[in-house]
């Protein structure tokens, strides 16, 4: 080793020994100050990193909420459109049940109306709409049925259907329109 290198090593060793023995208070103060600055920066770093993680989590939750809301809005809008077809089906059903034509031409027209009704029901079914057709004796379910009146019937338990007045319709397990029924008094 060269003399300069040996001398540099000795100076570093001497400084270390002086630091260890407490002979260099100025160095300790600088070290403590540097340690405080580092600790303060680390604390700020940790706080900012924590805020960043919370913000990222909040954003992720916001995106999930937004997507869920978008899908719910879309389903509600779709249900509104599908609900608009229900009175059309009702009107066609009434027309089909009200007339018993005697002439061949009228029978053909009525058969055409029946075909239109069946096609309309196929379209509704393809879009996820299910028809609720309550039966006598079936338990009354306020989510699926609307009680229009109470009517006793022999052999029907209380709070069970005694008469189906009109069908209901479901979309995504929710009633677009509940079935209208008569219920045995409880």
Instruction: Report which secondary-structure segment, H or E, holds 137.
Output: none
Q: CA distances (Å), 9 to each of 5, 17, 27, in order?
A: 6, 12, 18
As a whole number, the mean pLDDT across the chain is 88
The DSSP code for 133 is -
Parallel/antiparallel/unpaired status of strands 161-166 and 174-177: unpaired
| pLDDT score of 94 more than 70 | yes
pLDDT at position 172 = 87
Q: What is the mean pLDDT of residues 91-97?
A: 90
Instruction: Report which secondary-structure segment, H or E, holds 157.
Output: none
pLDDT single digits (tens) 48-62: 999 999 999 999 999
| pLDDT score of 11 more than 70 | no
| pLDDT score of 136 more than 60 | yes
| pLDDT score of 10 more than 50 | no
Domain ranges of the chain: 130-186
The hierarchical CATH code for the domain 130-186 is: 2.30.22.10
Q: Tell me the two tokens of residue 175.
A: 């009633």
| Higher pLDDT pick, 12 / 103 | 103
| pLDDT score of 2 more than 70 | no
Q: What is the mean pLDDT of residues 11-15?
A: 49
pLDDT single digits (tens) 138-181: 999 999 999 999 999 989 999 999 999 999 999 988 999 999 99
pLDDT at position 101 = 81
CA 138 vs. chain centroid, Å, equals 31
């Amino acid at each position: 080793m060269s003399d300069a290198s040996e001398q540099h090593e000795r100076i570093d060793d001497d400084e270390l020994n002086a630091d260890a023995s407490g002979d260099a208070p100025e160095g300790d103060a600088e070290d403590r100050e540097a340690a405080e600055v580092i600790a303060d920066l680390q604390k700020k770093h940790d706080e900012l990193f924590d805020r960043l993680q919370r913000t990222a989590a909040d954003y992720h939750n916001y995106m999930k909420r937004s997507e869920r809301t978008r899908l719910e809005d879309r389903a509600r809008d779709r249900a509104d459109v599908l609900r608009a077809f229900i009175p059309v089906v009702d009107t066609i059903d009434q027309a089909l049940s009200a007339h018993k034509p005697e002439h061949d031409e009228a029978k053909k027209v009525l058969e055409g109306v029946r075909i239109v009704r069946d096609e309309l029901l196929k379209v509704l079914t393809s879009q996820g709409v299910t028809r609720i057709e309550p039966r006598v004796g079936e338990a009354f379910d306020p989510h699926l049925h609307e009680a229009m009146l109470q009517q006793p019937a022999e052999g029907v338990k209380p709070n069970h259907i005694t008469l189906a007045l009109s069908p209901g319709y479901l979309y995504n397990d929710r009633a677009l329109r509940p079935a209208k029924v008569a219920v045995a008094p409880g």
